[in-house]
Amino acid sequence: MAVDTSPRSTTWTYVDGEWLTGNPPLIGPTSHAIWLGSTVFDGARWFDGIAPDLDLHCQRINRSALAMGLKPLKTAEEIEALAWEGVKKFDGKTPIYIKPMYWGEHGSSASVVAVDAESTRFALCLFEAALGGHGGVTLTVSPFRRPSPETAMTDAKAGSLYPNSGRMIVEAKKRGFDNALVRDMIGNVVETASSNVFMVKDGIICTPVANRTFLAGITRARVMGLLRREGFDVREETLSVEQFMAADEIFTTGNYSKVVSVNRLDNREFQQGPVARKALELYMDWAYGRTASEE
């Protein structure tokens, strides 16, 4: 039986100058992207009439394209304008995921393994996706690691990095957890399988230092700035699993669910802490324009 390729929620995609509904067939069996993985993407959110940091996500997709060896075909401003055009195609009730993408169609003349930048294609996909995770999540330490920049294209939001994240989540779920706490190749905690991570100890907020083994996210930076402006001591440090196990509270940040408390790390239980609650409050106040802009 053929697999149903229709999207699982209302979806619109801009490609080659037109908006298409559903899941248009954009990549064929000879495409470099499907064969050799030359894909990058980014993800922003629209909800309640706002799209926090959409401009920064549109800037980052072009940086990812360059890191992959692709050629950005749109300016960040053009992508942002298209995103707002696409939002108008929805009912305005359900949150939307905004996903700009670049990929390569052909290999270079020097070697098919390397992508031909001149064959770059662009699409912008928007689909309905509810915000989630605010009941808290559970984590377990993953046996799998994040690669270093010498071994993978960690400076791009590359599709090729995500099968590793996927196996982390699958392995964690098999052991009864929602997600995984992930280390780099030398054993330092860097993030979860799908979000950035913070810990709080004695009132000090710490997050793993951006060491190029993980995507130091836009929402991460936004939350750090908002907390610092509020007077919190926020530090980027090299952190161990043992420090996370001894923390007073843990929370994650990411574009998909914004700020989420961690209820359990392996056998250690946590309550939703005051810092996580404050971080979410500050983020939403900023997003809805209830506070002065934090640049």
Q: What is the CATH number for 212? A: 3.20.10.10
Judge if 144 and 223 occupy the same domain. Answer: yes
Look up the pTM and report it: 0.94
Q: Which of 128, 156, 175 is the last residue of a domain?
A: 128
80 with 150, same domain? no
**DSSP secondary structure letter of residue 53:** T
Q: What is the 3-state secondary structure (H, E, C) of 62-83?
A: HHHHHHHCCCCCCCHHHHHHHH
Q: Would 2 be classed as within a structural domain?
A: no
Region of 190 please: left (phi>0), alpha (psi -120 to 50) or beta.
Answer: alpha
Domain shared by 193 and 65, yes or no: no
Could you report the per-residue pLDDT of 117-169, keeping only the tens digit for each?
A: 999 999 999 999 998 767 799 999 999 999 999 999 999 999 999 999 999 99
What is the spatial distance between Cα 82 and Cα 99, in angstroms, rounded to a whole number?
Answer: 11
pLDDT of residue 132: 75
3 in any annotated domain: no
pLDDT band at 1 (very low <50, low <70, confident <90, very high): confident
| 290 contacts 283 by C-beta, under 8 angstroms | no
What's the confidence (pLDDT) of residue 291? 66
Strands 39-41 and 44-46: unpaired
Q: Residue 261's closest CA among 279, 237, 235? A: 279
pLDDT (tens digit, 9 = 90+) per residue, 203-258? 999 999 999 999 999 999 999 999 999 999 999 999 999 999 999 999 999 998 89
Provide the CA 108 distance to its chain's centre, in angstroms. 29
Instruction: Check which CATH number belongs to the domain holding 86 and give it.
Output: 3.30.470.10
Can you tell me the mean pLDDT for 9-26?
97
**Domain final residue pick, 128, 145, 171:** 128
User: Which run of H or of E encompasses 40?
Assistant: strand 39-41
Statement to judge: residues 121 and 247 lie in one domain: no
pLDDT tens readout for residues 252-281:
999 988 999 999 999 999 988 999 999 999
Whether the CB-CB separation of 108 and 142 falls below 8 Å is answered with no
Residues 144, 280 share a domain: yes
Last residue of a domain, one of 79, 111, 128: 128
272 is in which domain, residue-wise?
137-288
CA 13, CA 10: separation in Å to the nearest integer?
10
- How many other C-beta atoms can be found within 10 angstroms of the C-beta atom of residue 30? 10
Inter-residue contact 198 to 253 (CB < 8 Å): yes
Q: State how many domains the chain has.
A: 2
Residue 98 belongs to some domain of the structure: yes
- Whether 161 is covered by a domain: the verdict is yes
Residue 285: per-residue pLDDT? 97
275 and 151 within one domain: yes
Residues 59 and 181 in one domain: no
43-55 residue pLDDT tens: 999 999 999 999 9
pLDDT at 133: 64
Within a domain: 243: yes
Examine residue 66 and state whether it is found in any structural domain, yes or no. Answer: yes
Same domain (yes/no): 86, 142 = no
Say whether 144 sits in a helix, a strand or coil: strand
Distance of alpha carbon 274 from alpha carbon 212, whole angstroms: 30
Q: Please check whether residues 277 and 160 belong to one and the same domain.
A: yes
| Domain identity same for 97 and 144 | no
Residue 294 has pLDDT above 60, yes or no: no
Q: Is the pLDDT of residue 175 over 60?
A: yes
